[in-house]
Amino acid sequence: MHASVTCGPTIACAILRAVNQHLLPTLRLLGGDAFRSGEEVAHRLGVTRATVWNVMQEAQQLGVSVEKVRGQGYRLPHPPAWLDADEVAAALGPCAARFQVEILGEVTSTNTVMLERVAAGAASGLVVAAELQTGGRGRRGRLWLSGLGGALTFTLLWRFDQGPASLSGLSLVVGLACAKALAARGVQGVGVKWPNDLLCDGRKLGGILIELQGDALGPSAVVIGIGFNVRLPADIPAIVDQPVVDMAGTGGSEDRNALLAAVLSELAAGIDAFQTGGFAALADEFDRWHVLRDRDIVVSLPDGTSIEGRVTGTAPDGALLVDTASGPRRFHGGEVSVRAMAGAPKAPRDA
């Protein structure tokens, strides 16, 4: 789920803390259709019934929907497909050799974990995915909130020989890969809003946070953090500042392992194309998935001013091309924010 406004202390306090060590094992036990009594769960995990009760309270606070029936016990009406590195590898097929997928339970942020791994010399292709982020980060210092098992949150490390200046447009390539993978997993009407928000009928389905490390002349380590809403808790749309949607609400599959494999596979192909021909090689395809293409927009600049115009496309370096009253302008990621002024975003032309 995405909270792109500054989150208030209530949300921060609820999320930014460590979860009970028995939480994930308990929820994994409750994966099937049958109810399990608190006594049975306690016995199987070697904990007290009070611990099981506390854990179930905590699960609900973290957005997991729990059914409790007196005399029968607990059941999860929508058990998440828990992340599993073997399932991801099987779905990746031959492409699996290009990635090392590591599944973690609870982390602050998969990007933060990955930045530590970069410092320790981790290899290109490392993927860190987590069941729960307690301090997920979005762009421009915002928070990214995720319910336990209700989102796909992961970070991919890719190392390039070039310096960061040669990587312009890469963030759009990542957005394009995500949109294609989401469409392949059944999401209807998905598109990319420049530079790389994943939208479905104007509602945010996912976001990307890219963090670059390296010397000006190279090499560079690119930390690519991606989050998708898979099943949003019911109260979330009311506490975020923009329309949001999840896989469950878009006709998409909620199988997070298959989704992770689909995204990694598209990323491998997209990054290969980018390394051969730069963003220019993918600009036309990006424009077909671009929800702001040909639309009237307003660009908000960091100095507080704004400029209106019509999006005409994307430049070979990934800049947003806009026709304004004073002539054509180019905008780069990180310097501007873009909002559609009127009308619903378009679906991809031939996706």
Cβ closest to ligand BTN, residue 144 vs residue 331 = 144
Cβ closest to ligand BTN, residue 155 vs residue 265 = 155
Cβ closest to ligand BTN, residue 190 vs residue 226 = 226
CB of 251 to ligand BTN, least distance (A): 22
Residue of 204, 231, 256, 293 marked active site? 204
Query: Judging by DSSP bridges, how do beta strands 296-300 and 190-193 pair with one another?
Result: unpaired
Opening angle at CA 113, ends 111 and 119, nearest 5: 100
Type of residue at 327:
G
Residue pair 136/128 in contact (Cβ under 8 Å)? The answer is no
Residue among 71, 1, 59 nearest 31 (CA): 59
Cβ closest to ligand BTN, residue 52 vs residue 208 = 208
139 is catalytic: yes
204 is catalytic: yes
What are residue 220's DSSP bridge partners? 160, 214
**DSSP-based helix, strand, coil % in the chain, nearest 5:** 35, 25, 40
By the criterion CB under 6 A, which residues form the site for ligand BTN? 109-111, 133, 136-139, 142, 144, 153-155, 197, 207-209, 225-227
CA 346 vs CA 189, 191, 194, 288, 295: distances in Å = 8, 8, 13, 10, 9
Cβ closest to ligand BTN, residue 73 vs residue 318 = 318
Residue pair 158/9 in contact (Cβ under 8 Å)? The answer is no
Cβ closest to ligand BTN, residue 241 vs residue 284 = 241
Residue 258 in 3-state DSSP? helix
Cβ closest to ligand BTN, residue 52 vs residue 261 = 261
CB of 140 to ligand BTN, least distance (A): 7
CB of 198 to ligand BTN, least distance (A): 8
CB of 294 to ligand BTN, least distance (A): 23
Instruction: Provide φ and ψ at 189, rounded to 5°.
Output: 70, 25
Type of residue at 312:
T
CB of 224 to ligand BTN, least distance (A): 9
329 is catalytic: no
CA dist 141 and 125 (Å) reads 26
Residue of 44, 140, 330, 339 marked active site? 339
CB of 112 to ligand BTN, least distance (A): 7
CA dist 132 and 313 (Å) reads 37
CA 82 to chain centre: 16
CA dist 49 and 44 (Å) reads 11
CB atoms within 10 A of CB 228: 26
CB of 12 to ligand BTN, least distance (A): 14
Residue of 117, 139, 203, 231 marked active site? 139
Q: Can you give the three-state secondary structure of 220-256, one letter per residue?
A: EEEEEEEEEECCCCCCCCCCCCCCECCHHHCCCCCCH
Residue with the shortest CB distance to ligand BTN: 207
Residues annotated catalytic, as ranges: 139, 204, 339
